[in-house]
Amino acid sequence: MVKSDMLNIMVSKVGCSALYTDGIREVVTLLAFDSDPLIIGHKTIDNDGYSAVIIGFYPIDKIKLGKNKSGIFNKNNLEFRKFIVESRVDNPNQYSIGSKIGIDIFSIGDALNIKGISIGKGFSGVMKRHNFSGLRATHGVSLKHRSGGSIGGCQDPGRVFKGAKMAGRSGGKNITVKGLSIRYIDYDCNVLAVNGSIPGYKGGILRMRVV
């Protein structure tokens, strides 16, 4: 049986829901497990300098896959997949090429690290982007209540230091949430219920790993 703690698994975010256990309500996020992950290749220390197993997720037509990705599928005469992910393992030969991974590799209570792209919020001011308190909304402050205030010194240093917290593009970054756990598994629908909040929009692709 494939061990989930050795593999990076891609899932899609379905949305939020709730579980009731002994009358206690717990907010969870539902994740749709790809029903057809495929082992498509190996990497070994002798050939590549490290050992890993290559997994493909989400079926796709050949015409939609670039030539740079289709080579490994043609080489092993396999069905095409949209995403290709590597997972470092000690013995990649234990995963036979062409075999598939099921949701049964997970168990209730498994601890997860989940990585995804946070929801983009466009160009935002300092109060929304960095949680600034803003200026005082009193007499004498003329329509600058939400501004960032002073951003630099005078003649010395005579410039604004790089990395200053200012208005700009908010969200849309790679975020990793650690310490989540699986609360429920629906084996019929290939859905995982994970406690807490997970980055990304509904339908977004996430990468998770059991720790």
Domain span at 150: 121-170
The whole-number average pLDDT for the span 165-190 is 93
Residues 114 and 134 in one domain: no
> Structurally, how many domains does the chain consist of?
2
Residues 46 and 103 in one domain: yes
pLDDT tops 90 at residue 206: yes
CATH for 70: 2.40.30.10
pLDDT in tens, 12-37: 999 999 999 888 999 999 999 987 88
As a whole number of angstroms, the distance between CA 91 and CA 95 comes to 8
Residues 96 and 44 in one domain: yes
Residues 66 and 158 in one domain: no
Residues 19 and 65 in one domain: yes
Residues 51 and 105 in one domain: yes
Residue carrying the six token digits 């796709």: 60
Looking at the whole model, is its pTM more than 0.85? no
Q: Check residue 98 and give left, alpha or beta (phi > 0: left; psi -120 to 50: alpha).
A: left
